[in-house]
Amino acid sequence: MRHVAPLVLIALLLTVVATTPVLAQGWAGRGRLQGSVKDENGKPIEGARVTLIRAGEGPEPFFTNSKGKWSFLGLTNGMWNVSIEFPGYVPSEGTVGANEFGSSPTVNVTLRPIPPEVLAEAAAALSVELLDKGNQLLQEGKTAEARAEYENAIAELEVENHPPVLMGIARTYYQEDNLEQAEATLRRIVEIEPDNVDALKLLGSMLVAQGRPDEAKVFMDQLPEGELLDADAYLNVGIDLYNDGNLDEALVEFERVVGNFPELAAAYYYRGLVLLNKGENAAAAADFEKLIELAPDTPRATEARDFLEYLNQGE
């Protein structure tokens, strides 16, 4: 999911595991998240470590099966940080929303191998002892101490090689629910490496969750083709644009959702509203009909029927 930096030591030598000891199951609920992990050739990766964290808490890490798939039932509503790691590959990190009362998007991840030359450079550039200590401290939930070790490692590197270690630092802040510092650290990564997929995704998701869709859109638009956030992120950006009267820009976001998440009923509802406001009544009616087909017993379906009745009266 992320472009390999010139030096990806953090991913190879000691994988950063974004977990904290769970003292109370405030994270537990009825929601379910699932996904798959493959390599660049489409081969499933068995034994990839999956870590789910929300507000510093979550279940114990678990691993993908022989088909590269994973699933966890028992999560509360909200945005979850998903970290996926496998030795010799660049780790993946992002966020996805769990829904206790409906389906959640599937997290499909492609891990990219770390080039051998990068491994050699990494071994020469950084102290394994520093990274090992930081990794161990992070696993123990000692985020401040872990951050200190990563910052010591940063001091040994050229700026262009900072992004992998900065991701470790961002994870420490994220575990502490210090979103301001996590955001600042992720922005540093994007300044150095503008196409860093993991940083772009996490930034976009965090900003949308904080009600800052305009800022989130800047980073979401930088994602390469095929790399997407969850559908709700694009819906929220589109809704904000719609409320501001930017119909054409809102339509782009809703088109993106319909194209990539065709079974999401809400996408047709919002696209239908935009089309209705643009006077494209036939297209709007088609979207409202699709919404009713996908989710006939919802409040939005009731509204859609009212819109259809209004449109039919105008014929």
In order of their start, the domains of the chain are: 9-203 (2.60.40.1120), 231-313 (1.25.40.10)
Percent of the chain with pLDDT over 90: 43
Token pair of 190 as six digits: 């994007």
pLDDT band at 8 (very low <50, low <70, confident <90, very high): very low
Q: Where does residue 245 fall: left (phi above 0), alpha (psi -120 to 50 degrees), or beta otherwise?
A: left
The residue among 121 and 203 whose pLDDT is bigger is: 203
pTM of the predicted structure, to 2 decimals: 0.52
The Cα 84–Cα 102 span in angstroms is: 24
pLDDT confidence of residue 22: 37
**Would the pLDDT of 56 be above 80?**
yes
The Cα 111–Cα 113 span in angstroms is: 7
Span 247-266, average pLDDT = 90
The Cα 209–Cα 12 span in angstroms is: 31
Question: Edge-to-edge strand order for the sheet containing 78-85?
Answer: 62-63, 49-53, 78-85, 92-98
Residue ranges of alpha helices (H) inside the chain are: 9-12, 116-125, 128-139, 143-154, 163-175, 179-192, 197-209, 213-220, 231-243, 247-260, 265-277, 281-294, 299-313
**Would the pLDDT of 47 be above 80?**
yes
